Amino acid sequence: MLDPSSSGRSDGGPTANPHDALLPALHSLNDRVGWISEAALDYLSRRLTLSAAEVFGVATSCALFSLRPRPRRVLHVCAGPACRATGSTPLCRTLERRLGPAGRPAGGVLWQPSPCLGLCERAPAALVFEAGDPPRTAVTAPSTVDSTISTALDLRHARPEPPAEAAVPQAGAEHLVLLRRIGQVDPASLSDYLSTGGYTALHHALRMGPAEIIRLVLASGLPSRDGAGVPVARSWEVLAGQRNRPHYLVCDADESHPGSFADRVLLEGDPFAVVEAMTIAGIATGSRHGYLHLRGEYPRARRVVTEAVAQAREKGLLGRDILGSGRSFDLEVRRGGGTYPGRRGEPRGTPPFPAEPVLLGRPTVVHSVETLVAVPPVLTGVPVANRLYCVSGIVRRPGVYELPRGSTLHRLLAAAGGVRTGRTLRAALVNGALSRPAALDRQLPAAGPGSVVLLDEEREH
């Protein structure tokens, strides 16, 4: 039976906070039934002692939820820029002819256009959710009309997804730091991770202690890859000095920015690196609990990283008294749905400064996946002068590329094999900003999502 008021934890994490419990409760209802009724919203409001407006606000801000009855099986067809550039518009028109208008049930399934699904390197993409106990998911990418319809009508027709390294054209290259393990290890194997130097950085961190970790990261000059570009060590320093406790660490893997998918690739291909990095950051900042906020449209990443967390905890690499050091840190994977834990996703004035009271009213630092996975190499003496760029659209080899900071759009395009035959580059979306071909020699942004979508005029094929 659903008990939204209980966090189910005994690890020192947040307890009995109504906002902490709201998003998981909404997911539980939507997963099981396929939609959330007015009566269910009223129940959650009363059970969690939240206003009806708060509950309704979060529920309606999540693209994956529905407050109207619908079939258990829902087909989400990506309408993001990378998918539009590679054929999602004619796909949707054909679905209208074959299955009926978007939003109208047909044959036990409802289809609808979706914001970017984060599967840009395999565009056009579609994702099927089927409510139940347990719920099921299936991906079709790249999507054809036949593969999309057959999977939507029967999930058993879904083809297996390619491994994470398929999204890393440079996999195995010697110069890689952030992507070096992807394609070289089994992401489900802690032994593989350990055999390639995994958790060496955590052992160093446990010996050094918080102040020395921060000093070393500060000396490295490691910049945040997040939008603000604040040096990592400065954020940690501020949070560690806050007397208002507990402190929280958030890994923001929601990457809802169109054309962004590096977080998904890292989580699917090297999940233990993310878990180790969060643990080190937690120790450095005095945070005993962390959240990995993951996009709801990433079912495989959720399975992979949840298993990695469980294995790390079982081996004493996560949780209370890590490796007998007396230091503790645990983390929880939270599935998003277009919002952040417990609050409606919307602008709230200026972005929070490092360590401001954000999560549950406590000092919090928020980092991207890419920012965090750059930390373990620093602690083991490996310089990190690269950053990740996601390139998709009309390029020959879409995927995640690791290039030196300050690389140009021209260099990225060359690494990705140039524009597809028969297509003409008209524009590029760089972190959401439109650039013309004349800007190819400009440097790519050093911070932000690192997303590049190459476009020509939308085609009917």
User: What's the CA gap between 310 and 317, in Å, rounded?
Assistant: 10
Residues 234-252, mean pLDDT to the nearest whole number:
90
What's the CA angle centered on 436, arms 371 and 408, to 5 degrees? 40
Write down the H helix ranges in 315-434. 369-373, 375-379, 409-415
Residue-wise pLDDT tens digits, 350-386: 445 555 555 556 788 999 999 999 999 999 999 899 9
Residue-wise pLDDT tens digits, 432-450: 888 887 678 889 988 888 9
User: What's the CA gap between 175 and 422, in Å, rounded?
Assistant: 32
pLDDT of residue 227: 67
Residue-wise pLDDT tens digits, 176-230: 999 999 999 999 999 999 999 999 999 999 999 999 999 999 999 998 887 667 8
pLDDT averaged over every residue in the chain: 89
Query: Is-contact 61 338, C-beta < 8 A?
Result: yes
Residues contacting residue 363 through CB under 8 Å, at least 6 positions apart? 239, 242, 244, 245, 247, 248, 355, 356, 357
Helix, strand or coil for residue 401? strand
